[in-house]
Amino acid sequence: MILDFWKKRRRAEIRERTFPAEFSAITTANVPYVARLSDADRRELEGLTLVFLEEKPFEGCGGLEIDDEIRVTIAAQACLLLLHRDTDMYPNLDAILVYPSAYRAKTRRVDGNLVIEDEGVRLGESWTRGTVVLAWDSVKHGASHMFDGHNVVLHEFAHQLDGEDGSMDGAPDLGRRSRYVAWARVLGEEYEELVSRLRAGRGSDIDAYGATNPQEFFAVITEMFFEKSAAMKSRHPALYAELAAFYAQDPAGH
C-alpha cells in the first residue's frame, strides 16, 4: 500500500508537468488522432504520455537509434488506450523494442506430438510479460492513416491490456465479475460470426486476422474501435458498446 501511495503521488507530479513543445510537435505531425480529442482529453493524454516515457525504457534493434520522435509517437498511441480508465500503466511491460522495419522472428507451435519451429516476418508482437516489439515504419504508417483500421501500436498494446490478468485470452481485466458474462456473449458471438463468414468465403468489415483466435480478435477490434468507430457502432452496436464501456471512450462521437 505504501508503495502504491508513492507511485500514485510520483505519477501525479509527472502528469502535472508541462508537455514539451517539441513533444506536441511530434504528436501533431505523427499522431493526427490526437487532434480529434477534446482539450481535457488531450491534456490527460499528455500527462499519461509523460508518465509512460518516464517509466518505460525503449531499445533500438537492427541498427535503429531511439530518439524522441520514436518514443513520443509510440507512447502517445499506447496511452490512448488508458484515457479515462483507473488502471495501472501497463504494469507487466518492462521494455519496448523497436526495429526500423519488418523483422524476422522465430515461431514455435505444437501440432499433436510434433513441435514445429519456423521463422516469419513480423511488424510487431506482444509478450505476456515484459516486452512489446514494433517496426518503426509500421508504427508511423499506422498512426498517420487513422481511418484504415490498422494500427500496430494499438494492436500490440491491446494485447498488453489483455494479459494484465495473467493470460492473453481475449478477455482483459473487466473489474466486476458480472461484466464477463456480457463480454463473453457479445465477443463470442461476433468472433464465431467472423470465423463462419470467412469459412464460407464471405467478406467482413472486421479484419480477417481477428479470426485467428480470441486474443487476436480483441486486438483487431480495438484497432477498429478507434479507427473505424462509426462503422463499428453502426454495424456492430453491441460490440461497440462493450468496447466503449471497457475503454471508457466514445470515439464515434468525436
Determine, yes or no, domain membership for 89.
no
43 domain-assigned: no
Euclidean distance between CA atoms 155 and 9, whole angstroms: 30
pLDDT of residue 5 exceeding 70, the answer is yes
pLDDT per residue as tens digits for the range 74-132: 999 999 999 999 889 999 999 999 999 877 666 554 445 554 455 566 667 777 678 99
Please indicate, yes or no, if residue 250 is contained in any of the structural domains: yes
Angstrom distance (rounded) from CA 17 to CA 48: 11
Stated pTM of the model: 0.91
pLDDT tens profile 165-196: 888 999 999 988 889 999 999 999 999 999 99
What is the model's pLDDT at position 140? Answer: 96
| Interacting residues of 250 by C-beta distance below 8 A, sequence separation 6+ | 229, 244
6 in a structural domain: no
Give the range of the structural domain holding residue 229, as residue numbers without chain letter: 169-254
pLDDT of residue 115: 44
Arithmetic mean of pLDDT, 19-40 = 97
Lowest mean per-residue pLDDT among 55-59, 100-104, 236-240: 100-104
Q: What is the pLDDT of residue 112?
A: 54
In a domain, 109, yes or no: no
For residue 253, what is the domain's CATH number?
3.40.390.10
* pLDDT value, residue 128: 62
CA 21-60-54 angle, to 5 degrees, is: 45
Q: Is position 160 within any domain?
A: no
Closest CA to 153 of 10, 30, 246, 16: 30
29 falls within a domain: no
Task: Give how many domains the chain has, as a whole number.
Answer: 1
Q: What is the 3-state secondary structure (H, E, C) of the chain?
A: CHHHHHHHHHHHHHHCCCCCHHHHHHHHHHCHHHHHCCHHHHHHHHHHHHHHHHHCCEEECCCCCCCHHHHHHHHHHHHHCCCCCCCCCCCCEEEEEEECCCEEEEEEEEECCEEEEEEEEECEEECCCEEEEEEHHHHHHHHHCCCCCCCHHHHHHHHHHHHHHCCCCCCCCCCCCHHHHHHHHHHHHHHHHHHHHHHCCCCCCCCHHHHCCHHHHHHHHHHHHHHCHHHHHHHCHHHHHHHHHHHCCCHHHC
Residues shown for the chain: 254
The answer to whether position 185 is within a domain reads: yes
